[in-house]
Amino acid sequence: MSVDTQPPAPAAPPSYPEVKSLHRLASVPIVHDSIASIDALLTRYSATNTVKVWAQAWGEQAYKISEPYGARLAPVIVSADGMANQGLDVLQRHFPYPFIAPTDEIITKVRAPADQAYSTATAYVGAGQKAVSDNVIAPALGAAEEVDKSLSPYLDSFEARVRPYVPARDTTNGAEDHSKPTRVRAYELTLDARARAISLSQEQFHHLQQQSVLLQRASETVASLTSAAKEQSQALVAQLLATLDSVQQGTAKLPGEVQHALQPFSDKLGETYSHMLDVSHEQIPLGEKTRKLAGAAQEGLGEVLGLAAEKVQQLVGWAKLEGTKAKEQANGKAGDGVNGVAKVGEAAELRAEDAAEGVKKDVQGALN
């Protein structure tokens, strides 16, 4: 008779004993909800979720590695778990409420004293604010309104005098709106006055700029006129000196008898010419130089004209006398000789008159 033999079943791998105290503690509502809240918070963000997954993987790996040691320590773990359960039983008998109460209820009861304290404090603060408003703020506002009303007539009078010179910045909502408080109207009137002052300053600055442009143009015009007057005066002086020089040269070309007769005139003319030439070379202002030249010309040329008129009359008389003598001498000679002498006398007379007229014209042209 054969006996069937079967191989023995393989031994189960050693494992940790069940720790009931941990499961019991995790089943408490407040503990369970706290763990769930922490897990949800870690899962919400990608960085913390990655850390959570990594920690779970490492925990499972460590649990598997420590399983053989857990089997060896099973009696100790079971004994410790039993003691923990007994401690939880004692706590649950003395304080049963935390083990069965929902989390929201526990939080509400925990926050109740704080909420009550906050409500009480809020009530006291409200009562204090109301007391301050009734006893301090309201009387102060009333007094301010009385002061505002008492100052309103003065502001109205001041505004009536100032407003024609200080127009409102906004005509639809200006400081003249008497429905506004006096302090607001005074502030807006101040702003209007400031805006008006700025506007006037800008207008004055623009006016000064225009005046500056006008002054610059006037200065340029005066400088142009001064330059033109200087050039014209210099040209006139040069023309006058040239005329005097021409008169001197014309006098030098006259016959010897005429030059001898006109010697005082020529000397005075040369003296006047030299004096005017010296004045024209002086480094003095144009106005003063012009006055000195005019004075020298009026004084010197006046005397020159007087001498010229006197000498011309003398020359004319001398020419007539010489012509008469020549005619008388010719009466005792032959008839052809008479005609020749008469012609010589007439020619001398005409030459003297022409010289006198030329000198007179030159001098008058110099004065003009």
Query: 96-130 pLDDT, tens per residue?
Result: 888 888 888 888 888 888 888 888 888 888 888 88
Contact 77, 17 (CB under 8 A): yes
Task: Count CB neighbours of 156 within 10 A.
Answer: 13
Residue where a domain terminates, one of 83, 101, 119: 101
Q: Last residue of some domain: 101, 131, 166?
A: 101
Kindly tell me the burial class for residue 223, based on how many C-beta atoms sit within 10 Å of its own C-beta (0-12, 13-18, 19 or more): exposed
Indicate whether 87 belongs to any domain: yes
Average pLDDT over residues 226-240: 68
Return the amino acid letter for 281.
H
Report yes or no on 151 lying in a domain.
Answer: no
Predicted confidence band of residue 364 (pLDDT cuts 50, 70, 90): low
Q: Which residues neighbour 275 within 8 Å (Cβ) at sequence distance 6 or greater?
A: 296, 300
Residue 291 lies in a domain: yes
pLDDT bracket for residue 350 (50, 70, 90): low
Q: Please name the amino acid found at residue 128.
A: G
Which residues are CB-neighbours of 11 under 8 A, at least 6 positions away? none
Q: Is 143's pLDDT higher than 60?
A: yes
For residue 120, being part of any structural domain is answered with no
Sign of the Cα pseudo-torsion (290, 295, 296, 302, in order): positive
The Cα–Cα gap between 244 and 281 comes to 16
Q: Whole domain around residue 343: which residue ranges?
A: 236-367
pLDDT at 169 over 70: no
Q: What is the pLDDT of residues 3-33, one digit of tens each?
A: 444 544 444 555 566 778 888 888 888 888 8
Q: Is 44 part of any domain? A: yes
- Give the helix ranges, DSSP H, for 45-102: 46-65, 67-72, 74-94, 97-100
Q: Point out the domain boundary residue: 67, 101, 135.
A: 101
What confidence score (pLDDT) does residue 4 get? 44
* Overall domain count for the chain: 2
pLDDT at 236: 65
- Given a cut of 50, whether residue 338 has pLDDT beyond it is no
Which tokens sit at 220? 């340029």
CB neighbour list of residue 28: distance below 8 Å, 6 or more residues apart? 98, 99
Angle at 253 between CA 251 and CA 256, to 5 degrees: 90
pTM of the model: 0.31
Percent of the chain predicted with pLDDT > 90? 1
Residue 211 C-alpha from the chain's centroid: 20
How confident is the model over 146-164, as pLDDT tens digits? 887 777 787 777 777 777 7
The secondary structure of 272-315 as a DSSP string is: HHHHHHHHHHS-S-HHHHHHHHHHHHHHHHHHHHHHHHHHHHHH
In a domain, 250, yes or no: yes
Q: Which helix (H) or strand (E) holds 159?
A: helix 138-162
Residues in CB range of 280: below 8 A, 6 or more apart: 237, 241, 289, 293
Instruction: Write down the residue that tokens 């009530």 correspond to.
Output: 123
Q: How far apart are CA 362 and CA 250, in angstroms?
A: 9
Count of alpha carbons within 13 angstroms of residue 358, beta-carbon side: 18
- Residue with the bigger pLDDT between 253 and 368: it is 253
Contacts of residue 160, defined as CB under 8 A and 6 or more positions apart, other chains included, come to: none
Angle ∠(93,96,101) on CA atoms, nearest 5: 165
Helices (H) and strands (E) in the chain, counts: 13, 0
pLDDT at 72 over 70: yes
- Whether residue 231 lies inside any domain: the answer is no
Is the Cα dihedral 217, 219, 223, 229 positive or negative? positive
Mean of all residue pLDDT scores within the chain: 72
